[in-house]
Amino acid sequence: MALSTPESEPRLFSGGSGGLRTIVLCIGAIALMYLDNRNEHLADIRAMFGELLYPLQQAVDAPFAAGRWASDNMATRESLISDNAKLREQALRQSGQLQRMAALEAENARMRALLQSTARVGDAVVVAEIVTVDMDRLRHRVVINRGSSNGVAEGEALIDAQGVVGQIIRDRGTSSEALLITDPDHALPVEIVRNGLRTFAMGTGDLERLSLPFVARNADVKPGDLLVSSGLGGKFPAGYPVGTIIDVRGDTGEALLNVLAKPTASLDRVHEVLVVKPPPPAVATTPEEPPSAAAPAATEAAQ
């Protein structure tokens, strides 16, 4: 930098070769990382700048959106007719099931009233679309085109037609970031439909795999068992399908089973999702009745 050719001449505010500036910037970056890792002071800043970058994400998504639009528009008459027929049949079948559902729901509410337990209410939903951009390399995060201005909030669950997709982790105003259930950082309280066994489903980093690391050796788990969200923890509404168990392996000498499940939602193809609002706080904060299994155990211990 001693040679002061026009191009290598330092800029006005750089000290010499830019060393001082670099040190200041590095300290700034480290301070940002520290703050970001420790707490949520930066949430607003992230939201603001994330919103600034949203047009870029939309621009990247645009060709894909155009492709979807084109394939929607160029669908032939025959395929539209057959699609329509299929959908009508599906709607008929589902409305048939729903008729029973209304009666069952009423019956459920009456029985819960008898048990003096709170009634579950239907969940409110917002329809959202996933913006086609890649986020951090192999982490499973997506951007959706709804934010707090559309009545969506952090912590709410995403589902598609088949099951749970993920949850919103960062709200940016008109868009938000969501974590898929297969992200290695994600854990979801689930229960097995067949016997009500409660455990956690953790992401593995593979879109086709969930892992259940906390299942005891003697637990009753079989391949084919359906997992649904248990609603414990208060974030995910209860009762949505999460995955199907595909593999149960236990090495002798280990206390826990090695259980793998496959998500029911098609996470690699999902495009439209529903954001499910959590149940109203009055319902969510009602303490669960003490598990009945604990009570006999306690009395036995007393005897």
Partner 1 sequence: MSPLTLWGSLVGALALAIVPLTDLLEPLRPPWITMAIIYWTMVWPRLCGPLTAFVMGLALDLLYGSLLGQHALSLTIVSFITLWFHLQIRIFPLWQLTVTAFLLMIVDAFIVFWTDGIAGGPDLGLARWSQPIAGGLAWAPVMALLDNLRMRSENRSSRFL
What residues make contact with partner 1 under the rule CB under 8 A? 1, 3, 7-11, 14, 17-19, 21-22, 25-26, 28-33, 35-37, 42, 45-46, 49-50, 53, 56-57, 59-60, 64, 132-139, 141, 170, 177, 183-185, 205, 207
**Please, what is the minimum distance in Å from the beta carbon of residue 39 to partner 1?**
12
**Please, what is the minimum distance in Å from the beta carbon of residue 206 to partner 1?**
9
Q: Is 163 exposed, middle or buried (0-12, 13-18, 19+ CB in 10 A)?
A: buried
33 or 153: whose CB is closer to partner 1?
33
**Please, what is the minimum distance in Å from the beta carbon of residue 56 to partner 1?**
6
Q: Record the tokens describing residue 47, joined without a space.
A: 């939201």
CA–CA separation, 208 vs 259, rounded Å? 14
Buried b vs exposed e over 30-57: b needs ≥16 C-beta within 10 Å?
A: eeeeeeeeeeeeeeeeebeebeeebeeb
24 or 298: whose CB is closer to partner 1?
24
**Please, what is the minimum distance in Å from the beta carbon of residue 140 to partner 1?**
10
Reference 152, options 300, 274, 23, 288; nearest CA is: 274
42 or 126: whose CB is closer to partner 1?
42
Q: Which residues pair with 262 in a beta bridge?
A: 244
138 or 161: whose CB is closer to partner 1?
138
**Please, what is the minimum distance in Å from the beta carbon of residue 245 to partner 1?**
23
187 or 238: whose CB is closer to partner 1?
187
CA distances, 276 to each of 8, 91, 170, 285 (Å): 57, 21, 15, 18
